[in-house]
Every structure is written in structure tokens, then in C-alpha cells.
Amino acid sequence: MVIRPVRSDDAAAITQIYNHYIANTEITFEEECVSQQVMQGRIDAVVSAKFPWLVVEEDKQVVGYAYAHLWRDRSAYRFSVEPSIYFAPTHTGLGYGKQVYSALLKLLQQMGIRNVIGVITYPNEASCKLHEALGFRQVGIFDQVGFKHDRWLSVANYQLMLPSA
């Protein structure tokens, strides 16, 4: 397994991974699959804002990714980010998530980021356990704030305060 910064030629694999979760799960509240061009635009926005976007490769194939973007767009929130992490269904439960998330957190700390706020469809035992294993604490649940696949969905917020670099 290799963790490295995203490249422009990763957009197709990232799009395929993400679209699986859009179409088949409630993990993302997005309901329509995205095109490779839309995903490339999202990658470009994160990278141009100087936030990290990491990919996980196995046998030179992208099998997962993690990135962070501003949690909110007002200036006072500039030290708080929201992360996202996704893996191909064939590569979940292997410990890769913890490794790439740890790498992402290290980069964020080096940038001077203070707060990392995980927003998780709830319940999602695997994601909650991952966040807790990395030191996040649950700070709230918003009940039934999303509706997808004919059911109401809740969201749990997890917060990690990073130490100064």
C-alpha cells in the first residue's frame, strides 16, 4: 500500500469509488452520481485551496482516498476542516483507512489546523469506530436531517482538536 498526494489522472478511479457510495449506500447524502469532470473540479478546488487530498494505491491502482476542506466558509472558521474518506468496497476493513486518515491528520496539524470535524451518517459503526480510534469524540447527533433511499437519516458530528505543530 502506498499513500501519496492526488494527481489529475486519479479522477477516474476516485469518481468510480465515490459513485459506488452514492448509488448503493446512505454514507453520502449525494443522490446523483457525479461525472469525472465534476470530480476533477472538486479535486482542483481542494488542491488549489492548499488542503491535502491523499490517495491510497495498491498494485498501482487507486483503492481509496482521503481529503479535507474548510468546515465552513466564513473567515473565522479557517482553522477548522471537514474530512472525507472513501475506499473501494474490496478494500474496506483492511486498516488502510486508519493509515491514510492518520497521514491526513498529520498534514493538517502541520498546516496549523486546529479542529477536524467528521460528519458521519448515523448509525455507521465502522466510521464511528475509526473516528474514535483516532481520538475524535462525538459532539452531537442531528436526527433525521437527510432523506435518501426512502428513509430518514441522521448525522453524527465527531471533533478532534489537533495540538499545535
Domains and CATH numbers, the chain: 2-161 (3.40.630.30)
How far, in Å, CA of 124 to CA of 116, rounded?
Answer: 18
10 Å Cβ neighbour count for 137? 11
pLDDT at position 125: 93
pLDDT tens per residue, range 37-46: 999 999 999 9
- Global pTM reads 0.95
Instruction: Name, in order, each residue with C-beta under 8 angstroms of 151's C-beta and a sequence gap of 6 or more.
Output: 26
Mean pLDDT, rounded, for 68-89: 97
- Give the N- to C-terminal CA distance of the chain in Å, as an integer: 27
Assigned C-alpha cell, 104: 491526513
Cell 466558509 belongs to which residue?
Answer: 73
Segment 4-40, tens digit of pLDDT: 999 999 999 999 999 999 999 999 999 999 999 999 9
Residue 165 clears pLDDT 90, i.e. is over it: no
DSSP 135: T
Taking a C-beta distance cutoff of 8 angstroms, is the pair 106, 98 a contact?
A: no
Q: Which of 157, 151, 161 is nearest to 25 (CA)?
A: 151
The CA-CA-CA angle for residues 55, 138, 17, to 5°, reads 25
pLDDT score for 164: 86
Task: Indicate the pLDDT class of residue 152, thresholds 50, 70 and 90.
Answer: very high
